[in-house]
Amino acid sequence: MKEHLIVLDLDGTLLTDEQKISALTKETLMKAKAAGHHVMIATGRPYRASQIYYEELGLITPIVNFNGAFVHHPRNAQWKSIHTPVDIRVVHDVVESIHKYEYNNLIAEVIDDVYIHREDEAMLNIFNMGSPHVRMGDLKTTLLEDPTSLLIQANDANVPIIRQHLQDVHAELIEHRRWGAPYPIIEIVRKGLSKAVGIDQIAKEMGIPRERIIAFGDEDNDLEMIEYAGIGVAMSNGIDQLKNIANEITLSNNEDGVAKLLQERLKL
């Protein structure tokens, strides 16, 4: 069988609800690699929060972090990384414009530097993975460079209201996505970015056509990736919008959905 590129979202897809890679899924991915297929991660997380899984799987491929805003190769310093941050002036405009809406916090990230608008122990615990440099305080004074991403934490009722505002006022300059559990968070990156953009670059460099890309996802930040891949797979725990455009729907992240699909498709 010709080599395929297997692309994995992390939360709600590769990882169980306990944030683990199950034994069967790990075994199946190792078999896929041994059979000559390539395995890579495409996630909204920064690298510091995805490195543990990259290393657990023994990956030797580039990785897409921040939903396409940072594409790099952890094992090859010669590989040209692509960092596409949001213009800081746009971020300050967004921050200023959402003050009229109810939100809990704002978090900006510049690769491994984290800026938290309001002091919040729960947010600090979430973003402390990988020991980043963390600064607390008003983003208008603490954030002095273009961020990789901006996160808006709000309650479930206000997330769609804020997203509609972002679409109405800032759509020409930013992309916005909603995180899944455990917190309702809107993630903002530069306009035109998505996981698919990074995957396309990596696949072309590897010489793997779209029809031999198998991508797995569950949330709205996976929409472009699932549509781009020759075989776009939605997890059964995924959102309906993703299932509607997927080529396949597999079992949930807690039922070895990734492993079951790969076993069937790649005869593992």
Active site residue ranges? 9
Query: How many angstroms separate the CA atoms of 48 and 66, rounded?
Result: 11
- Residue 183 zone, left/alpha/beta (φ > 0; ψ -120 to 50; rest): beta
Note every long-range contact of 211-214, with CB atoms under 8 Å and residues 24 or more positions apart, other chains counting: 212/2, 212/3, 212/4, 212/5, 213/4, 213/5, 213/7, 214/4, 214/5, 214/6, 214/7, 214/261, 214/262, 214/265
Helix H or strand E encompassing 147: none
Phi, psi of 135 (to 5 degrees): -125, 135
Helix H or strand E encompassing 209: none
